[in-house]
Amino acid sequence: MIKIPALRLRAKLVLIFVAIKVLPLVLLAALAWSAAHRLGHALGQRAAVMADNMAGSIREVGDKATQDAIVALDDRSREAIERLTTDTALAVAAFLHERDRDLQAAALLEPNEAGYRNFLRHRTRDYYRHGEWKLKADGSGWEPAVPHSPDPASIARAGEALPDNAKSFHARPPEYRGERSERPLYLEMSFIGLDGQEKLRIVDGEVMRPGLRNVSRRENTFVRAETFWPELRRLRPGEIYVSEVIGAYVGSHVIGPYTPQAAEKAGIAFEPQKSAYAGTENPLGQRFRGIVRWAMPVVRSGRITGYVSLALDHDHLRQFTERILPTEARYTPIIDAIGGNYAFMWDHKSRAIAHPRDYMIVGYDPASGEQVPPWLDEELYGEWKASGQPWAEFSAGIKPFRDQSLKRRPAAAMLTAGMLGLDCRYLNFSPQCAGWNQLTEQGGSGSFEIFFTGLQKLTTAAAIPYYTGQYADSPRGFGFITIGANVDDFHRAATDSARQIGLTIEQKNEAFRKERQDMLQMVENSMQRMTVELASSTFVMVLLVIGIAFWMASFLAGHIGALVEGIRRFASGDRKQRFDVRSRDEMGDLARALNSMAETVDDSFLRSEEARQRAEDASRMKSDFLASVSHELRTPLNGILGFADLLAMDLKDVEQRDQALTIRNSGKHLLGVVNDLLDLAKIESGKMTVHAEPIDLPAFVADVVRGHRAHAAGKGLELLLDMARQGPLPVLESDALRLRQILNNLINNAIKYTDHGQVSVQLEAEGTDLVFQVRDTGCGIAAEDQEAIFDRFGGVGSKVQRDKGGSGLGLSLVRKLAGLLGGRVSLVSEPGRGSLFTLRIPLQPRADEGTLGDGAGPEPSGSDSDK
Ligand code: ADP
């Protein structure tokens, strides 16, 4: 149990109110707050998860769509580029076949200059050349001097299409391949005698030196590299000889854009014109000029009279690959190797014969007529150098396409030397060579993807189905076309839309993040608002509740206090006190009940007051009566006693004298009774007062005892006085008259009710009290009578006692007198053995002992009983 300190009703009520009202209120508010807080938090979390999921789904769908689109676009692009490759190869083959036709026609001509010139005049073809290019101002690359942009008027406008054609109406400007010119197909046309000596020769002086030569000697041939004479000799009528591509190698010490910076890095002077042409990388460079030679016997009357030869300008062959772009642009006036989107051509031995970078086209050293060694990987280059053999000799003995891998590194020394011709058979750091070889060696085509020079490239290959002369020996034919395409470009649309989707998601995410932030902020704000509102409303309610509690407590406590105050006033004597009852509630009932109780109490009080008054009146009348009767009795009694004494003295006759003495004794007894009655009446009517004075105890007590000696002696009893066994007695301040009355009564009784033995009086001080003891060896008093004897007329009604002449007033008076002196009387007795009466009175009168003052009341009656 909890110990609750004593609290006033008001405090208790307030506490109870707080406990039953305020605590639940605060608890409820706290609960509401925490629930709302959790809700807000959960809401924010959920929203975030939902948004994340949504964004995730969109991203997933976007990724999937993008992936699918990429695959689809890649497939479509691959298909288109493979098709472009094959079509290009077919076009090349057709072009080459046309040259066969030209040669056959030429073989029919009479070998004379006019005829040959006439022949050549009609053998021309469109040739496209890009405009002028210049170094960028910052020297970081090259740019067209005048950028080309299509004339908008040349594009059919979709808006003008017939409604029937308007759907997906898509128009392109005229294809721009560069500045068109018409160029002769052949750089040379000659008639060679059976001894190898040219009889007739028409040349383009720009590439070839004019003049008749004996071609049976290699040093007289184009770049001293042609070895066709022995082949020609073996030709039968109608058979055609077609050479490989022959031209002087043009090298470069720079791969990539030929810029002043690149030249400096390569340690050469910036002379772009002296380095090989490389499309956008070096548009000013020196071009590879080569030929493909056709020749066949001229037959007259079934006899070979000589050989007609046509040297095809290699530039026309290059046109097939140089202008195509495997992108949306389709054609380019200038080829660009950097973007990775370009086409090239390889001969039947897998040597580059058309390439955006001219230094990659294999060629011959015009000084020696030997093929310039192609670009090798480090390992093969090392082996070659170690062999000490010339390239031609060394290369004849090695396996082509040996362990080609992207892991191999190109020979740096060859880059420094500027020998970068591509012979796929030995280009071992470029494994796509083996791939192309694999795709085309049986005349087929196809593609694969490879990561090369930093680009993910689709690379296609298609054999050129031209099978004239030496090319008839190879299923591949003349060689093959390859197109490299930057795969990223195919699906740029898809990646663009993927990027767009990503961007959108990012934006949406950002927007959502903001929304969420706003929402959380909103939740936070409303939480704060709610907290403040909740707290203030709770506070107000708490104040209200406490106020009500105080009011109620004050109301109740006030009412109860008023009732208590009223009852107290009533109790302290204001019996007219009544409550002003106004309310009809329980408090009102209580007040009414208290009023009616007060009414009843007042009533009985009045009655008892009347009764008391009556009793007091009666008692006073009785006492007055007793007093006056006693007084009236004493006068005649004293007369009777006086005359009885006189009579006893005068009478000589013993019997008569005894009778007179009997009268005197009876009178004396009666006087004692009257005195006792008078004293009792005085005490009971409150008229008896005591007068304290210093008492000389030894003298006083000896005197009292002395008065009883005769009586004791008369009965043959021993009367002993034992004073202050422990030392001198202190001074007693009391009413000597009343004390004497008490002691006389007690000693008198002791002697009276003792027939044998002794009566002893003993006194001693005990603390602040003086103790008198009157002991006898008399008849004693039965236990059941020990209280009754102190009542008025409480004489124990035995015959013996009555015989002793007792009135039954003595002890009653003793007790009352002892009370007046501030003391008390007690009794210890055993029938047959004796009694001990003990009087105990204070040595000094007590201050509160109103009746024991210094005689403020009426004088003592002076009645001294001396029985
Ligand atoms: P009485 O005038 O009869 O003595 P008391 O009031 O003095 O009246 O005594 C009352 C009664 O107490 C006596 O009647 C007596 O029976 C008894 N009593 C008093 N003192 C003694 C005593 N010392 N021994 C025996 N009985 C006593």
Q: What is the pLDDT of residues 556-583, one digit of tens each?
A: 778 788 888 888 888 888 888 888 888 7
The percentage of the chain sitting over the pLDDT mark of 70, rounded to a whole number, equals 95
The 3 state secondary structure assigned to 332-390 is CCCCCCCCCCEEEEEECCCEEEECCCHHHCCCECCCCCCECCCCCEHHHHHHHHHHCCC
Q: For 21-59, write each residue's pLDDT tens digit.
A: 778 878 887 888 888 778 878 887 887 788 788 878 877
Is the predicted pLDDT of residue 2 greater than 70, yes or no?
A: no
Q: In what order do the strands lie in the sheet with 834-842?
A: 718-723, 758-766, 769-776, 834-842, 824-830
Q: Please state the pTM of the whole predicted model.
A: 0.56
Whole-number Å distance, alpha carbon 330 to ligand 1 midpoint, is 162
Cα(722) to centroid of ligand 1, in Å? Answer: 23
Question: Across residues 714-727, what is the average pLDDT?
Answer: 82
Question: Which residues line ligand 1 at a C-beta cut-off of 6 Å?
Answer: 749-750, 753, 776, 778-779, 781, 789, 794-796, 801, 806-811, 835
N-terminal to C-terminal alpha carbon distance within the chain? 71
Residue 492 reports pLDDT greater than 80: no
Which of 801, 802, 839 for mutating ligand 1's site (highest number of atoms within 8 Å of CB)? 801
Question: What's the CA gap between 721 and 706, in Å, rounded?
Answer: 10
Atom 3 of ligand 1, residue of closest alpha carbon: 806
- How far away, in angstroms, is 742 Cα from ligand 1 center? 13
Which ligand 1 atom sits closest to the C-alpha of 750? Answer: 23
Parallel/antiparallel/unpaired status of strands 179-184 and 445-452: unpaired
Q: In this model, does residue 804 exceed pLDDT 70?
A: no
**Band of residue 867 on the pLDDT scale cut at 50, 70, 90:** very low
pLDDT at 17 over 80: no
Most informative mutation of 671, 747, 789, 813 for ligand 1 (most atoms within 8 A of CB): 789
pLDDT at residue 89 is higher than 70: yes
Closest ligand 1 atom to the C-alpha of 837?
A: 23
Atom of ligand 1 nearest to the CA of 776: 23
Ligand 1 mean position, distance from CA 834 (Å): 12
789 CA distance to ligand 1 middle (Å): 7
> What does the pLDDT read at residue 856?
35
| Atom 4 (ligand 1) nearest CA | 806
Residue 752 alpha carbon to ligand 1 centre in Å: 8
For residue 754, the CA-to-ligand 1 centroid distance in Å is 11
Instruction: Say if residues 858 and 689 touch (Cβ distance below 8 Å).
Output: yes
Please determine, for residue 505, whether its predicted confidence score (pLDDT) is greater than 80. Answer: no
Test site for ligand 1: of 676, 715, 741, 752, most ligand atoms within 8 A of the Cβ = 752
**Cα–Cα distance, 752 to 795 (Å, whole number):** 13
Best probe residue, ligand 1, of 811, 815, 825 (max atoms within 8 Å of C-beta): 811
Could you tell me the pLDDT band of residue 1, with boundaries at 50, 70 and 90?
very low
The answer to whether 127 and 316 have CB atoms below 8 angstroms apart is yes
Give the distance (Å) from ligand 1 centre to CA of residue 758. 17
Q: Report the chain's mean pLDDT, rounded to a whole number.
A: 87
For residue 704, how far is its CA from the centre of ligand 1 (angstroms)? 19
In contact, 320 and 342? CB cutoff 8 Å = no
- Distance from C-alpha of 243 to C-alpha of 311, rounded to nearest angstrom: 9
The b/e string for 521-538 (b: 16+ C-beta within 10 A; e otherwise) is: eebeeebeebeeebeeeb
Q: Give per-residue pLDDT as tens, 455-491.
A: 778 899 999 999 999 999 889 999 999 998 887 777 7
Q: Assign 864 a pLDDT band (cuts: 50, 70, 90).
A: very low
Work out the number of other CB atoms within 10 angstroms of the CB of residue 762: 18
Distance between CA atoms of residues 627 and 858, nearest Å: 15
Q: Which atom of ligand 1 is nearest to the CA of 812?
A: 6
What is the per-residue pLDDT for 550? 81
Query: Tokens 């050293």, residue?
Result: 365
* Closest protein CA for atom 2 of ligand 1: 806
Ligand 1 centre and the CA of 639: distance in Å? 29
Q: What is the pLDDT of residues 519-554, one digit of tens each?
A: 778 878 887 888 788 788 878 887 887 788 788 878
**Residue having the nearest C-alpha atom to atom 14 of ligand 1:** 795
Query: From the DSSP assignment, how many helices (H) and strands (E) are in the chain?
Result: 18, 21
For the CA of 798, the nearest atom of ligand 1: 16
Q: How far is the CA of 795 from the centre of ligand 1 (A)?
A: 6
pLDDT at 860 over 60: no
User: What is the separation of C-alpha 95 from the centre of its chain, rounded to a whole number of angstroms?
Assistant: 78
How far away, in angstroms, is 808 Cα from ligand 1 center?
Answer: 7
Q: How many angstroms is it from 801 CA to the middle of ligand 1?
A: 7
The two tokens of residue 51 are 């948004």
Distance CA 369, CA 567 (A): 148
Q: Which two tokens stand for residue 378?
A: 């480090």
Locate the ligand 1 atom nearest the alpha carbon of residue 813 and give its number: 6
pLDDT value for 851: 46
Determine the distance separating the centroid of ligand 1 and the alpha carbon of 679, expressed in angstroms. Answer: 18
Three-state SS for 739?
helix
How far away, in angstroms, is 663 Cα from ligand 1 center? 23
Most confident of 280-289, 713-722, 791-800, 827-836: 280-289
The confidence score (pLDDT) of residue 281 equals 95
Centre of ligand 1 to C-alpha 830, Å, is 14
Rounded distance, CA 384 to CA 373, Å? Answer: 10
- Hey, whose CA ends up nearest to atom 23 of ligand 1? 750
Q: How confident is the model over 811-818, as a mean pLDDT?
A: 90
What is the CA(573)–ligand 1 centre distance, in A? 44
Which atom of ligand 1 lies nearest, measured to the CA of 800? 16
Average pLDDT over residues 231-250: 96
Among protein residues, the one with the nearest Cα to ligand 1's atom 8 is: 808
What average pLDDT does the segment 141-148 reach? 92
User: Measured from the CA of 809, which atom of ligand 1 is nearest?
Assistant: 6
Cα–ligand 1 centroid distance for 748 (angstroms): 9
Residue 148 pLDDT > 80, yes or no?
yes
Nearest protein CA to atom 10 of ligand 1, as residue: 795
For residues 306-321, average pLDDT = 96
Q: Using the mean position of ligand 1's atoms as its centre, give its distance from the Cα of residue 689 in Å.
A: 26
- The whole-number pLDDT of residue 522 equals 82
pLDDT score recorded for residue 850: 44
Q: Pick the residue whose CA is nearest to atom 11 on ligand 1.
A: 795
- Give the model's pLDDT for residue 848: 53
pLDDT at 805: 60
Residue 755 alpha carbon to ligand 1 centre in Å: 13
Atom of ligand 1 nearest to the CA of 790: 6
Position in ligand 1 atom list of the atom nearest CA 811:
6
Largest CA distance in the chain: 243
Distance CA 437, CA 441 (A): 5
pLDDT at 858 over 60: no
CA-nearest residue, atom 19 of ligand 1: 749
Q: Which helix (H) or strand (E) holds 631?
A: helix 586-650
Average pLDDT over residues 228-251: 96
Q: Whose CA is nearest to atom 20 of ligand 1?
A: 749
- Whether residue 87 is predicted with pLDDT greater than 80 in this model: the reply is yes
Helix (H) or strand (E) segment spanning residue 541: helix 492-571
Pocket test for ligand 1, best of 753, 777, 813, 825 (most atoms within 8 A of CB): 753
Residue from 715, 746, 747, 749 to probe ligand 1 pocket by mutation (most atoms less than 8 Å from CB): 749
Q: What's residue 252's pLDDT?
A: 94
Tell me, what's the pLDDT at 409? 94
Residue bearing the CA closest to ligand 1, atom 7:
810
Greater pLDDT, 861 or 446: 446
**Burial, 414: exposed, middle or buried (Cβ in 10 Å; 0-12, 13-18, 19+)?**
buried
- Return the pLDDT at 866: 39
